[in-house]
Amino acid sequence: MIIQTKAVKLIQIYSTICEKFEKDLKYTCERFSNNDKQDLTDEEIMTIYLFVIEEEQRFTIKQIHRFANEYLRSWFPKLGSYSAFSNRLNRLSEAFKDLVTDLITEYYPEDCFYNQSLLDSMPIVTCSGKRSGNVAKDITDKGYCSTKSMFYYGVKLHALAFRRENKIPFPEEIQITPASVNDLTVFKEAWSMKEDRCFFGDKIYQNKEFFSDLKKKKTL
């Protein structure tokens, strides 16, 4: 069981996901088989995942499933095994991506500076650069993190965020790339053509020739 305040939050999360799911998320994970009706719905799986991360600060799938099994069984009696939960969760990656996009655009804080954006990236390490990477080979590769002075296998998270005065910037867009992809390359391909915007980033984004050409294109 969980306390009443957390129960209210669980219901709020579930209601929001159901609303989004009925509107468009269901099309990202639609099943075309005889097994299209599940005892534990996709909405319930997403609710469990987001609730346990937010309220209990448990971040691995095994920790999330263990907590749900111990404390949320009365809410989700058809929870099932860890293996089934993990497989179902992985298949909802596109639904999570669209959900995040919707929530970001709907809940922009009023104190955002919409003409000022901050750029940055961070490594997501799957294994040390001294070893051979064997996890998610289709999206990971070897890269270097100058901040931590280390080589690693994994991916890189790139963020474009609106500036807020004396507060953490609010994310506008997020990109995931293999670890070797340069930050400037992501900026060029994804964000450089945004209009009426000042960008702030570290020295990896410096390229006088590129920005001179970009300025000429925007003034034509």
Task: Looking at the structure, tell me whether residues 93 and 129 fall in a common domain.
Answer: no
Helices marked H in the chain = 4-23, 42-56, 61-71, 82-90, 93-106, 183-186, 208-219
- Tell me the mean pLDDT per 10 residues along the chain, length 220: 92 96 89 73 96 95 96 95 94 92 89 96 92 87 92 96 95 94 96 92 91 79
Task: Looking at the structure, tell me whether residues 17 and 31 fall in a common domain.
Answer: yes
Count the residues in the chain. 220
Write down which residue in 103, 132, 164 finishes a domain.
103
Task: Looking at the structure, tell me whether residues 93 and 115 fall in a common domain.
Answer: no
Query: Which range of residues forms the domain containing residue 135?
Result: 109-219
Instruction: With beta carbons less than 8 A apart as the criterion, state whether 95 and 25 touch.
Output: yes
The predicted pLDDT at position 33 comes to: 65
The model's pTM is 0.78
Task: Looking at the structure, tell me whether residues 85 and 183 fall in a common domain.
Answer: no
Task: Say how many domains are in the chain.
Answer: 2
Task: Looking at the structure, tell me whether residues 191 and 123 fall in a common domain.
Answer: yes
Task: Looking at the structure, tell me whether residues 86 and 113 fall in a common domain.
Answer: no
Task: Looking at the structure, tell me whether residues 192 and 139 fall in a common domain.
Answer: yes
Helix (H, G, I), strand (E, B) or coil at 144: strand
Task: Looking at the structure, tell me whether residues 115 and 189 fall in a common domain.
Answer: yes
